[in-house]
Copies of this chain bind each other. A is one copy, B any other.
Amino acid sequence: MKGAYYEGNKRFSVGESKIVPPGPGEVRMKVAYAGVCGTDLHIYLGHMDQRVKVPQVVGHEASCEIVDVGEGVTDFKVGDHVVLRPTDACGKCPTCERGDINVCPSINFIGITSPGAFQGSWTVPAHLLHKLPASINMVHAALIEPLAVACHDVRFGEVTDKDYCVVIGAGPIGVLEALVCREKGARVVMSEVNPARVKLVAEMGFEVVNPAETDLVKYVMDATGGDGADVVFEVTGSQAGAEMMTKLPRTHGRIVIVAIFAEPKMIDLRTILWREYTVVGARNYVKQDYEEAIRLVASGNLPLDKIVSDVRPIDRVQETFEQIASGSANFMKVLFSCSD
């Protein structure tokens, strides 16, 4: 079986996936499908070269089947379908002692600082696995990791069925957040400037506004009787998004920061004060977010096929990252078929 190795300098090589026998507390898995995350793109572009030792197999959004079980592993057996929660916290620092293990400053993010999922054989700690019900197909299961991000974000947004939510940015995480909000019974509006994404989310049944064409603030105020949105998710990482996010909420509304802002942005703190907003950062996930994501995928309610733009062999890794980086293909989510 093959593996895709990041070599630095925007290059991947395709080599053999090393068969690593599972140590105590570990399992070895066959990777079925693995999705490309924005983080993988950052790695490809060299933004994370300080953290990633080359050559390194990256990727962390994967559906897997257990093929070997290490000493002391009792909760899982060969043949189980599983997904990995790739954030391995230190367990010892003040953050972990508070239970906030998703933001442990010493976190080991599997697929960044240790070998990842773009390969046929993957050996990982069993304590980070979640078992899948048989009803979930493995293509959909590869979306559980980003869906767990969305579940975490929506939980931090404290979204209820009474809420009017705006998601700024209809990339994979934004779309998954919108789906989770909709599952909670909330009304959701997406903001997106890319026409292909506008079209896709409209096909998924979402209200969608292109803020380059339509006055989004007026749209939201008109829809809420001049009150404003209950919850706003900022998923663009742009100055335009950072400005928009403080214009949309009602008094005591919530803003959830989801995007990774590479640089500080100009923020209207006066309005945060004036309307007593709550702004929260939401990053990664914990166990309960994974459990909710698995429940949602198992429900069959989510139009996940719409999100999967293509499934392709690992051999096409270099071409795929070039296409994503250039934006030429308008992908939402690309999966690699890792066991071919």
Q: Are B262 and A265 in contact (CB under 8 A)?
A: no
Write out the residue numbers on chain B whose beta carbons fall within 8 Å of the beta carbon of A339: none
List A residues 57-98 near B (Cβ within 8 Å).
94-95, 98
Greatest chain B CB density within 10 A among A258, A259, A276, A278 is at A276
Q: Are A252 and B282 in contact (CB under 8 A)?
A: no
CA distance A95 to B94 in the complex (A): 38
CA distance A275 to B103 in the complex (A): 6
Write out the residue numbers on chain B whose beta carbons fall within 8 Å of the beta carbon of A252: 95, 98, 100, 103
Q: Are B276 and A279 in contact (CB under 8 A)?
A: no
Q: Are A262 and B270 in contact (CB under 8 A)?
A: yes
List A residues 274-315 near B (Cβ within 8 Å).
274-283
Identical copies in the complex = 2
Using CB atoms, name the residue of chain B closest to A99.
Answer: B252
* Size of A's binding interface in residues, CB under 8 A: 42
CA distance A279 to B249 in the complex (A): 15
Greatest chain B CB density within 10 A among A242, A243, A262, A267 is at A267
CA distance A268 to B94 in the complex (A): 23
Q: What 5 pairs across the A-B complex have the smallest Cβ distances?
A: A273-B281, A279-B279, A267-B267, A261-B269, A264-B266
